Amino acid sequence: MKVPFLNLKAQYDSIAQEVEQSLKEVLLSCAFSGGPYVEHFEEEYAAFCGCNWAVGVGSGTEALWLALVGLGVNVGDEVITTPNSFTATAEAITLCGANPIFVDVDHESFTMDPALLEPAITPRTKVIIPVHLFGQTADMDAIVAIAHKHGVAVLEDACQSHGAEYKGRRAGSLSDAGCFSFYPGKNLGAYGEAGCVVTGDKQLANRIKMLRDHGQSRKYHHEVVGVNGRMDGIQAAILSVKLKYLDAWNSLRRARASYYQKLLLNVPAVILPKEMPYARHIYHVYAVRSPERERLRHALTASGIECGVHYPVPIHLLEAYAPRREGAGSFPVAEVCAKELLSLPMFPELTEDQVVYVSSEIERLSADWANPECQH
């Protein structure tokens, strides 16, 4: 059996007629950059997240960058985040001229460890960015309380957590603002690049709207230096179609994750992900841990099962951040994650038979490896 890591075609097939109709409407209206389709999606997505405003931009990276600029982050400031994330989290900080300051992650959730946060705060700290990794929110009450104590803003990197919840509240609504990526492989994915910022702060929303549109408050009246960071009308129309199905798709992901949990519960080769008591995990990624990660990955590949690694190098050890001189051992939990996490196939259209096959192959490999006669 072949099991893909992701199957975007299966999702498209289920909504093709609606998508094609939405594309036709955009093409006929010629509302390609910004415009009514973007505005409509912004209203829908703000309501979905439980926020007053959403600002559509060109990517999740732009969302993080423009939100930081909107919050006043500048050259020489410090922004605290985690090294266990995609590089865009730190990249957005660096693009502001600020310095990313890392704190390690919790060994169960793989998100920011609040116990390590306060010692990292200095007079130069401007913003804290917890990353809602793999579809699960960070421990936001603890993080926000520490931030408020020190007068620091909180910006959620929710690029992997569309519809995830923390104590019944949606990701993105838990702080000063939340940033989302609509990269095609995300739980809510465009058919190209797109992102957005959600917030309850009208002034912040307006600042980001200006920044994404060359700093203009109205045509040819440029109040600040901005960029071309507008969302495309075509992407917004597609996202509006897909948003109607997002809760159902997330429920399917949760069901498949629950089935993995059941089938792999007693398999010694892997340590299963944990849904924290405060969270409703939406499993953008279903990542298991294995000290034999590379061996397991190669064996599953040979069995026709595609897997992913998120992420093989923690940010502080990337070549791009080598000048920081934070060597191996600086953030031990993040470094273990980089060595041991393996992402199994996960998408709403994943079938139970596919989950059974993936799980049975892992169980078979685990049993073989435990058998001395099978050792080389």
Contact 190, 183 (CB under 8 A): yes
Domain ranges within the chain, ordered by starting residue: 8-103+110-243, 246-370
CA proximity to 256, closest of 167, 344, 361, 168: 344
CA gap 250, 236 in Å, rounded:
20
CATH of 8-103+110-243, one of 3.40.640.10, 3.40.120.10, 3.40.190.10, 3.30.310.10: 3.40.640.10
- Residue 370 has a pLDDT of 77
SS3 354: helix
Bridging pattern class, strands 177-181 and 286-289: unpaired
Fold of 246-370: Aspartate Aminotransferase, domain 1 (3.90.1150)
Q: Is the pTM for the entire model greater than 0.95?
A: yes
- Residue 376 has a pLDDT of 46
Q: Which amino acid is at 60?
A: G
Angle, vertex CA 24, rays to CA 20 and CA 28, nearest 5: 175
- Residue 324 has a pLDDT of 85
Rg value, the chain, Cα: 21
Bridging pattern class, strands 153-157 and 125-128: parallel
**Residue 214 tokens, joined:** 């060359």
**Residue 309 tokens, joined:** 């690694």
- Residue 373 has a pLDDT of 57
CA gap 311, 350 in Å, rounded:
23
- Residue 371 has a pLDDT of 73
Alpha helices in the chain, H assignment, sequence order = 8-29, 36-49, 60-70, 88-95, 140-149, 202-212, 233-243, 246-264, 293-302, 332-340, 352-370
- Residue 325 has a pLDDT of 80
Name residues of the chain where pLDDT drops below 70: 372-376
Q: Which amino acid is at 228?
A: N
- Residue 374 has a pLDDT of 53
Q: What are the distances in angstroms from CA 123 to CA 19, 73, 79, 147, 152?
A: 49, 13, 11, 12, 10
- Residue 375 has a pLDDT of 53
Write phi, then psi, for 100 (nearest 5 degrees).
-75, 130
